[in-house]
């Protein structure tokens, strides 16, 4: 049996952060995480386990927070994909990103992009989560450095400041 070449001549198209990307010469078994990082120049999403057990690769796929390592990239051709790089234009920081910095929620930072995406997703669907709701919503994102305390503080800070702004 002849060895199949790695790269496939087929081209497929992905919609990422509002832009269209053609993926060519790829091995069709590549995960979305691999394609984002190695082919589309978007290394913000991280791979810590490639099994969906850590959440470091969390991206939004048609508005749902999923693990990019578990999405076969070639099957996501019609999906609206948002990565951490797409949350704010250029050098701007979202309020969630700023809160992570202010509250000391960033140490090594490997889990941070996935968490930022997950927190954005949480607050979009539940603007004033209880402590347990926050914990459950983020239970798919592992952090090994912080023990989560400062991360919860960051979420609380965003909730408070958004509620404050809404009140005005």
Partner 1 sequence: MTEASAPAATATATETVTALRPGVLGTNAARPDGVPKVQGRFAFANDLWAENMLWGATLRSPHPYARIRSVDVTGAWKIAGVEAIVTAEDVPGQPTYGLIRQDQHVFASAYVRYRGEPVAAVAADHPETCRRALEAIVVDYEVLTPLTDPEEAIAGTRDRIHPDGNLIRHQRILCGDPEATGPIVVEGNYEMGMQDQAFLGPEAALAVPDDDGAGLELYIATQWLHEDRKQVAACLGLPEERVRLVLGGVGGAFGAREDISLQVHCSLLALRTGRPIKMQYGREESFYGHVHRHPAKIWMRHHASADGVIVKIEARMVFDGGAYTSTSPAVLINGVTHAQGPYRCPNAIVDGYATRTNNPPCGAMRGFGVVQACFAHEGQMDKLAAAAGLSPVEVRLRNAMRTGDPLITGQPVDSVAPVERCIRETDALPMPPDLPADADVLALPGGSGRTADRGHVVRGVGYGVAIKNLMYSEGFDDYSTARCQLNDGVATLKFAAAEVGQGFVMLAQQIARSILGVDEVMLDTIDTQIGSSGSTSASRQTWISGGAVDAACRKVRELLLEAVAERHGMPALQLAIEGTDVVDTIGSLRIPVADASAGLRLDETVEYRHRATEDLDENGQGNCHVAFAFVAHRAVVDVDPELGLVKVVQIATAQDVGRALNPLSVAGQIEGGIAQGLGLAVMEEIIVTDGMVRNASFTDYLLPTTLDAPTVVFSLIEEPDPQAPLGAKGVGEPPCISVTPAIAAAIRDATGRDIGRVPVRPQDICLS
Partner 2 sequence: MSVLTPSTIDEVLAHLAERPEALLLSGGTDVMVEINMAHRKAPAEVVALRRVEQLRLWRHNPSSEGTGGTVTIGSGLPYAEMEHGPLAELFPALAEAARTVGSPQIRAAGTLGGNLGTCSPAGDGLPVLFALDAIVHLRSIGGQRDVPVADFMVGVKQNVLEPGELVTGVTMPIRHGWQGYSKVGVRNAMVIATASACLAMDRDRGAVTLALGAVGTTIIRCRDAEGWLAGELDLSAEPLDISDAVAQEFGRRAAADARPIDDHRSTAAYRGHAVGVLSSRLLRRAAA
Contacts of 102 (CB under 8 A, 6+ apart): 154, 157
Give me the torsion for CA of 79, 84, 87, 92, rounded to 10°: -150
Shortest separation between residue 73's beta carbon and partner 2, angstroms: 9
- The residue assigned the tokens 């269209």 is 20
Shortest separation between residue 152's beta carbon and partner 1, angstroms: 7
Ramachandran bin of 58, using left for φ above 0, alpha for ψ from -120 to 50, beta for the remaining angles: beta
Contacts of 20 (CB under 8 A, 6+ apart): 13, 14
Give the containing element (helix H, strand E) for 32. Answer: helix 32-34
Cβ proximity to partner 1: between 12 and 49 the closer is 49
- Rounded CA separation 168/58 (Å): 33
Among partner 2, partner 1, none, what does residue 118 contact (CB within 5–8 Å per kind)?
partner 2
Site for partner 1 in 50-109 (CB under 8 A): 50-51, 53-54, 56, 83-85, 88, 91, 93, 97-98, 100-101, 103-104, 106-109
Q: Which residues bind partner 2 (CB under 8 A)?
A: 4, 8, 10, 12, 27-29, 31, 50-53, 55, 58, 61, 64-67, 69-72, 74-79, 118, 136-141
Q: Which residues bind partner 1 (CB under 8 A)?
A: 3, 5-7, 27, 29, 37, 43-51, 53-54, 56, 83-85, 88, 91, 93, 97-98, 100-101, 103-104, 106-113, 116, 130-132, 134-136, 138-153, 156
């Amino acid at each position: 049996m002849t060895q199949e070449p790695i790269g496939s001549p087929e081209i497929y198209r992905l919609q990422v952060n509002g832009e269209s990307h053609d993926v060519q010469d790829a091995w069709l078994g590549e995960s979305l995480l691999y394609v984002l990082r190695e082919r589309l120049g978007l290394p913000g999403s991280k791979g810590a386990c490639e099994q969906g057990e850590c959440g470091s690769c969390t991206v939004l796929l048609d508005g749902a927070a999923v693990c990019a390592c578990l999405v076969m990239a070639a099957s996501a051709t019609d999906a609206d994909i948002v990565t951490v790089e797409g949350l704010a234009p250029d050098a701007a920081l979202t309020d969630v990103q700023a809160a992570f910095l202010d509250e000391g929620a960033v140490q090594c930072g490997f889990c941070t992009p996935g968490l930022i995406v997950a927190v954005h997703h949480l607050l979009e669907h539940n603007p004033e989560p209880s402590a347990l709701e926050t914990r459950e919503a983020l239970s798919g994102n592992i952090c090994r450095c912080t023990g989560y305390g400062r991360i919860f503080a960051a979420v609380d800070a965003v909730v408070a400041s958004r509620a404050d702004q809404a009140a005005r």
